[in-house]
Structure 1
Amino acid sequence: MKSDAPVKESKVRSALKGLSWRIIATLTIILIVYVKTGEIESA
């Protein structure tokens, strides 16, 4: 059965989530700048 108790975040899991979010955000910004300017160097 599934309990409704919140999942306890370990420090490692929290760090990995933060790191993955930073990578996704950085790649998104680079993509937006590239689409707008056509230059990857501007990002």
Structure 2
Amino acid sequence: MNPSLVEHHGKTLVGVINLSMPKFGIEMGQVALVFHRQYAEETQ
């Protein structure tokens, strides 16, 4: 998978969640960001 593509889809998903559930979206965004960083480090 292309990391930039994954990041793009992640941001889109977070954006959709933010529109429907702002507080939940922010929390999920933080979790996704941490997970994405760990994944990026492991795949280098």
When normalised by structure 2's length, the TM-score is 0.48
Larger Rg: 1
More relative contact order in 1 or in 2 (CA 8 Å, sep 6+)?
2
